Amino acid sequence: MREETLLHRKAAEQLREYFDGKRKVFDLPLAPVGTEFQMRCWDALLEVPYGETRSYGDIARAAGSPKGFRAVGMANNRNPIAMIIPCHRIIGSDGKLVGYGGGLDIKVFLLELERKNAHS
């Protein structure tokens, strides 16, 4: 069994705070590994405010590839720390909930949790 580190404890504490509606931004050192485009997508995801959503096209534009909305979906799929880099906040351009590696029921849960606590 691997030893729990200070980072593990800090991440667990911040996740508890998030699910309790007390944390809106994670304060953890992030070092995800991906392509240059994936990294730009993940940076753009970190800019989406708690309780808000953006479209795949919005993230594609923010990542410097205005027509790359499908590639944004692939970057989301490869997101190694999905709770911390909030890919659940990305929706279809028509406002519909589409694609989430954890399942749409989890995506709905996370978005509702954030909407409920966004102004508290």
Specify whether domain 32-117 bears CATH 1.10.10.10. Answer: yes
Percent of the chain exceeding pLDDT 90 equals 81
* 87 labelled catalytic: yes
Torsion angle of alpha carbons 116, 110, 108, 70, nearest 10°?
Answer: 130
Q: Tell me the backbone φ, ψ of residue 59, rounded to 5 degrees.
A: -70, -40
Q: Residues 65-115: pLDDT tens digits? A: 999 989 999 999 999 998 899 999 999 989 999 888 888 999 999 999 999
Quote the mean pLDDT of the chain: 93
Tell me the pTM. 0.89
- Catalytic residue, from 71, 72, 87, 91: name it: 87
User: Any alpha helices (H) in the chain, and if so which ranges?
Assistant: 6-19, 36-46, 56-62, 69-77, 104-117
Q: How confident is the model at residue 116 (pLDDT cuts 50, 70, 90)?
A: very high
